[in-house]
Amino acid sequence: MMVKQSDEYIHQTVLLAEAVDALALTGERAGGIYVDGTFGRGGHSRLILENLSSSGRLIAFDKDLQAIANAQQINDTRFEIVHDSFATMNEELSARGITQVDGILMDLGISSPQVDEAGRGFSFRADGPLDMRMDTTRGISAAEWLATEDEQIIREVIKNYGEERFAFQIAKAIVARRQIEPISSTRQLAEIVAHAVKTREKGKDPATRTFQAIRIFINKELEDLEIGLAAAYACLAPFGRMTVISFHSLEDRIVKQFFASKVNVLQPDRRLPIRTVDLPKAQMKLIAKIKPSEQEVTGNPRARSAIMRVAERLPGAVS
């Protein structure tokens, strides 16, 4: 996350110390292998490196080219950056001969540099090309998608990913406008939404939910999260920690349900002749659920919606 100071944006990583502390980088664990699933501007990665011993190793992932450029400035033989989604974690680690890691950090959602740069097309607050891709080298832009997609699909995306109750009206307005002119800028889309949304939430721009929905869809954020959580668990060593920071309810719901599925194992009917040793066992234990302090939110308002969940893989757990 970033806050504006004069004309420059100063990066502020949400739950920086808390997230790294949750990985328990002490003793022998400081010499382990760790994964930062979303490098962003490197706040978490740099602090992890500060806590690793000389034999430790950190592999970071990011889809954003600017994040990759920032990561390449780190001159540390213990560090490596991968230009891809954390959903590819298993394949990338396997290619490096790594079968297990000691901890994984996933800081979800969109970074402040992406929001604050108008040219990326993520924000309705400044006019810019309607792109919204985290990785501009792959996939189609939001403008290209809106130009051709069926009205029903647009409606479903805005409703399901944005939890927008005016999804029908917004999708209808988008399709009507594109018949007159291409929808190629963030300002155009924001104006279309503003006219279609009749009741506004206090303190929230009417375009907020629509922009969120389209961004999540274009970048396959929820699909990547589900794949990434499974991949992270599969390569996590016994007693390894998984720390996930989410910023909206859809992400947090997926994380919460995934951890619950590993902690609360369904037991068979007690009347069945099954030995205790053969009963299904919990695969993880919950360590913490943490939200930013009032002090952090005051200094960085974008941290207010963050929720960090931490779980640890139990010995003997199956993949």
Q: Which residues are annotated as a binding site?
A: 42-44, 62, 86, 107, 114
Burial of 261 (0-12, 13-18, 19+ CB in 10 A): middle
Phi-psi region of 85 (alpha: psi -120 to 50; beta: other; left: phi over 0): beta
Q: Which of 188, 42, 209, 211 is nearest to 115 (CA)?
A: 211
d(CA 135, CA 103) in angstroms, rounded, equals 25
Contacts for 255 with CB less than 8 Å, ≥ 6 apart? 225, 229, 244, 246, 309
d(CA 155, CA 209) in angstroms, rounded, equals 12
d(CA 134, CA 114) in angstroms, rounded, equals 8
Q: Where is 70: in which H helix or E strand?
A: helix 65-71
Cβ 145 vs Cβ 216: under 8 Å: no
Q: Where is 160: in which H helix or E strand?
A: helix 151-162
d(CA 23, CA 247) in angstroms, rounded, equals 20
Feature table: binding site for S-adenosyl-L-methionine: 42-44, 62, 86, 107, 114
The amino acid present at 165, given as its one-letter code, is R
